[in-house]
A and B are shown apart, each in its own frame.
Chain A
Amino acid sequence: MELLLSIIIFLPFFTALLFGVFRASTYTLRLGAIFSSTVVFGLVIYITLTFDPLGGMQFIRNVDWIKNYGISYYLGVDAISLVLLLLVTLLMPILYLYMWHENRKGYWYNMMFLQSGVTGALLSLDVILFYLFWEMMLLPIFIMIGRYGNGARQYNVTKLLLMTVLGSMSMLFSILYLGYMHFEMTDSWSYALGDLASISLESHVEALVALGFLLAFIIKIPLVGFHTWMAPAYGSSPTPTVVILSAIMAKLGVYGIWRFGYELFSHTLTQYASYIITLTLIGLIYYAIRAITENDLRRMFAFASGSHLSLITLGMLLTNIYAWSGSLYFIATHALASAGIFLMIGLLYKRVKTVQISSLGGIASQAPIFTFFFLFFALSIAGLPGTGGFVAELLIIIGAFKTNIWIGLFTATTMIAAMLYVFWMLQRVIFGPKSPYIEECRDLTKREIIMLLPIVVLLLLTGIAPSLFMPLFEPQLSSMLESIVPISIPLSLPSISGGL
């Protein structure tokens, strides 16, 4: 039982290692990858079923790793990480289905390593262990984009690498400082999250330390100003990587703020929240405008996803239960929707070898099933009522209005903007006159439909019956909120906000 989380983390890793040592054929690799990821998903389902929403950290495993420095192998899962864990482990088998005919072995190995890195980062409660996984998941991404990507992939991936490593290095510095302060105050080494949270620093020092952590997370999300790696990297990525970048990695940045930001320096975070909120608001609108102007589908949805991630970050910074549960809910639904749309773009690219909007058009008459799925995912990105994204966005917008009327107004524009770029894109890509490029466009195969169906079902389910999922994490969010000083944004219109 206490090994459960370790198995979840390391099963894909060791599968890949074993198959690598014995030079397995692509066929066995595929079987191994699908098998390991399905087993892991099964285990996560088991955890979800036995999970106690009020229980805080569960399935804890804590053993010494490097005794002299108090670094431990400390794992645990709570509601927030469980939501993300469910997502990751659900998406991996789907991605493997997508990669079914892939015969470049590096793809399979890197995906399995990646899964281990991502789940490890999600579950670790020791800061050094977290740092280890956080860096570990970068490497497969680096190799996959650089090796199997397109366009100026070497340049773009180096940009991604350097920017994210810069973030991680600043985080490392903060970690070292925190660890040493813990040693100085208690005379014992520990890098466990709970222990580090117990030390109190002077407020300006704490702000600097928090900045170190935040830089890593903000670059990973990325918020506006730290986003220059995003569009090039998304544009050059092969499909599985781009799904992981937008559906998983970016969410980990948000998760990082939640886990480390609020546990280690909730005071600083709420104190300086207005600056980050400003960033997210600028990001919301800036990314939406960029998305409208882009001609490359991958880059367009990269910016769209940047816009929505800004919204998620915003929701997380507004400390009320609507915004918080909306934000966490949006993490899940947006991950599903963006995974769906990037998979569709990938399928499109496989068929017609281009994702330039200007060279597409009239797919609807050529491939109706494809069109249905493409429309569905694009619309759920835009927040179509009936899909999960709508519920989540609505909650965040309510939360924003609760905090401050202006923030609420800005936040609401994201739905309009999303409608704008999605519908305009649909009009050019799906409808309109038939482009010569899509003559060869076949419709979806059975395997592809099977791969996409779970995402569709889940998106509908989250949209129609949120009450099925909310109880999983709402109790924990409420109890976390009680210990956090709510932010206050002074700039408001008294007459209107008084009425709300």
Chain B
Amino acid sequence: MLEQLYLVLPMSIIIIAAFVLMLLSHHKSFDLNKLNLVAVLFLVISLAIVIKQFREIESSYLFLDIIGEIFIVDTFALLFDLMFITGTILTLLINTDYFHSRHYFNGEYFALLLFSLFGMILLAHSHELVTSFIALEIASLSIYALVGYHKNNRISSEAMMKYLILGAITSVFFILGTALIYGAVGSTTLSDIATYTNENINNKEDLVLVITGATFIMITILFKIGAVPFHAWVVDVYQGAPFPVTMFMASTFKIAIFAIALRLYLVDFVSLHGLWTTILQTITILTLLGGSWLAITQTSIKRMLAGSSIVHSGYMLIAVTSIGLGSQLAAPAVMFYLIAYFLSSVGAFGILSYISAGGKKQLTYEDFKGFSERRPYLSIMMSIFMLSLAGFPSTIGFLGKFYIFTAAVESGQFLIAGLGILMAFISVYYYFKLIAMMYFYPKNEKQKPLRYTFSSLLIILMAVLIILGGIGTSLIPYAPSADGLIDMAQVAIESLKPIVQ
């Protein structure tokens, strides 16, 4: 029992922290800084425990004798926890300046963020469809509220409504899919579903409900990661949301969706992959093309990053399709890509929010003219993030793409790998445009210089991690290097395997 309590500790700390923050936020003597610190404190404790668990735990169900196989703690989930909590800590810390620059932030913000984090952690650990749904909704509902956090801003409210309505409709598909699967299997735990599909693999008629249900669930997942044709919300919502929220959504929330998607796809529907290959390939191609198109045409950096986040979903879908076609490398590749994308997008959004804390509401390409003269270091960092997003070698983004395209080649999808590389080529245009703006144009005199703060230190840390992840070797001990990260990803994927059998 004690052992179980130890395992459940990280998420309990976070939910407790969320409640504590909610209560504290009404206390006059707690200003934003203190609340921020309290939140970070709780998160750091939780993170430390997760790291400790990550080194020890193989795979174990939580309170098996009380609630059955609803929650699982395995390396896979813990790796995701690691990313979620780090992402939230970074979101809180990098945006310190931003909170102060906008009057509409108050204490509930931190509580909502932590509730969302709690939902995501549940999602990564859930081993049962209804629980997944509830976890997904906990995470999503907090995000809906956060997107519309700037109440008096029309764009923000519009984004919230758009996201809320579309998100609610697609969530319905998840629950409908769950119902259909339950109708066939008689259970909603993932291992039961996996057993059922494996036993009836040659008997397609028994699987009709499972297949339909799984397809419905897939729709929800594709919506949440912003795959074309479910992408209509992405650009507007990213633009409407306050910067910290956009950063949280793009880097952390997106990863959470992949946590459940990978678990379902690798554990449950492993024997049904062939059925979806064509659908997934079509969606991948559409996502890559549509996302690139959206990203090229934007003038606002935030919207460009939103568009490009669709493209990144497309890359990861390439690997997901490859899993279905029997690639052994694809699953670790997705994990690695998630880490890579996480680091780069946190950095990029972090810089944007840091700059926009200086007063600017909208950041366009034009606003970056002469940025290298105002802030030489920061523009180097921004260049590193852009290079990593574009997949330039010597950054972690390159290795992420390298693994994914290798997986695509391994599964025989040469054309899709080619298309992916072509899209990476196109992405060079819109990412390098920003670098060009920073370096090629003279200083715009009107802007005032930025202060160096704690945020910039964290941004530098992200950039160093990106470079380390791209070129770091096993020669440097204890550092998360290119070699170590892919090992971690493989270990995480391995931890799913015993259930697959």
Interface residues in chain A, defined as those with a beta carbon under 8 Å from any beta carbon in chain B: 63-69, 73, 106, 128, 131-132, 135-136, 139, 142-143, 146-147, 153-154, 157-158, 161-162, 165-166, 169-170, 172-173, 176-177, 179-180, 183
Contact = CB atoms under 8 A, between A and B. Distances in A.
Nearest to A73: B473
A128 B401 CA distance: 13
Given A135-B392, A169-B425, A172-B421, A68 B490 contact: yes
B473 A65 contact: yes
A64 B428 contact: no
A165 B428 contact: yes
Nearest to A138: B392
A161 B439 contact: no
Contact of B406 (A64, A157, A165, A180): A180
A269 to B, nearest CB: 22
Given A132-B394, A146-B439, A147-B440, A66 B483 contact: yes
B408 to A, nearest CB: 8
A147 to B, nearest CB: 5
B440 A68 contact: no
A69 to B, nearest CB: 7
A66 B486 contact: yes
B486 A68 contact: yes
A69 B432 contact: no
Contacts of A157: 436, 440
A176 B436 contact: no
Given A63-B473, A68-B487, 16 more contacts: A63-B475, A64-B473, A64-B483, A65-B473, A66-B473, A68-B486, A73-B473, A106-B372, A135-B394, A136-B393, A136-B394, A147-B440, A154-B440, A173-B405, A177-B414, A180-B406
Task: Tell me if B's interface is mostly helix, strand, loop or mixed.
Answer: helix
A4 B109 CA distance: 55
B436 A146 contact: yes
Contacts of B409: 176-177, 180
B463 to A, nearest CB: 13
Contacts of A66: 399, 473, 482-483, 486
Interface in B453-484: 471, 473-475, 482-483
B418 A173 contact: yes
Interface string B410-447: 10001001100110110011001001100110000000
A176 B482 contact: no
A123 to B, nearest CB: 16
Contact of B440 (A67, A73, A146): A146
B436 A165 contact: no
Contact of B425 (A64, A132, A136, A166): A166
B429 A67 contact: no
Interface in B148-181: none
Contact of B393 (A68, A73, A135): A135
Task: Tell me if A's interface is mostly helix, strand, loop or mixed.
Answer: helix
B402 interface: yes
Interface in B365-386: 372
Contacts of B422: 169
A176 B327 CA distance: 15
B148 to A, nearest CB: 38
A64 B486 CA distance: 14
Interface string B481-495: 011001100100000
A146 B383 CA distance: 14
21 contacts: A64-B474, A66-B399, A67-B474, A68-B483, A68-B490, A69-B403, A73-B473, A106-B439, A132-B394, A139-B392, A153-B440, A154-B436, A161-B428, A161-B432, A162-B429, A170-B421, A173-B405, A173-B418, A176-B406, A177-B409, A180-B409
Contacts of A63: 473, 475
Contacts of B393: 128, 131-132, 135-136
A208 B482 CA distance: 30
A169 B421 CA distance: 6
Instruction: Please list the 4 inter-chain residue pairs (A to B) with the smallest Cβ-Cβ separation, ordered nearest first.
Output: A132-B393, A146-B440, A169-B425, A180-B409
Contact of B439 (A128, A136, A143, A165): A143
A176 B474 contact: no
A177 B406 CA distance: 8
A147 B439 contact: yes
A337 B402 CA distance: 39
Contacts of A169: 421-422, 424-425
Nearest to A161: B432
A243 B271 CA distance: 59
Contacts of B403: 69
A165 B425 contact: yes
